[in-house]
A = this chain, B = another copy of it.
Amino acid sequence: MTEKTALTPKTHTPPPAKFSHGVRKGNILQVAGQVGFLPAEDGEPPTPAGPTLREQTLQTLANVKSVLEEGGAGWDDVMMIRVYLTDTAHFAEMNDIYNAYFEEQNLTAPPAARTTVYVGLPAGLLIEIDALAVLD
């Protein structure tokens, strides 16, 4: 698997531009910025899992995981997670959700590094996450 391959989970809507939800080349896998959209439904526009940080964070993490798995990877292979929030007041709650989520994942490798910064996102979106993985 030394060729660059696009990773497109069946749950995902087509990207709104010429980019891939994820790509893998050799042992490097990059997941594009994911947001809290529910699994795609034919003919429907992308729809957030809900208005709350909890709903969007969990759906975003599920979407990142789908791309990882499409490329034969999992959370244990992830080196870096970039979390984009829109409000510094969301940091503590996001961490609670993040910690509980990863405790349930039963990982065997140490957790990924992470950077969290506060940016603007399209209206209605509270969180965006991307990830870089290195496979064995």
Task: Count contacts on A: residues with CB < 8 A to the other chain.
Answer: 57
Cα(A73)–Cα(B33), bound, Å: 24
Closest chain B residue to A97, Cβ basis: B17
Closest chain B residue to A25, Cβ basis: B134
Cα(A33)–Cα(B118), bound, Å: 13
Map CB proximity to B onto A24-45 as digits: 1 under 8 Å, 0 otherwise: 0111101111000000000000
User: Is A13 positioned at the interface, with any CB of B under 8 Å from its CB?
Assistant: no
Asked if B117 and A84 sit within 8 Å, CB to CB, the answer is yes
Asked if B23 and A116 sit within 8 Å, CB to CB, the answer is no
Task: List chain B residues, Cβ under 8 A from A88.
Answer: 120-123
Map CB proximity to B onto A1-17 as digits: 1 under 8 Å, 0 otherwise: 01111100000000111
The answer, among B2, B31, B110, for a CB contact under 8 Å with A113, is B31
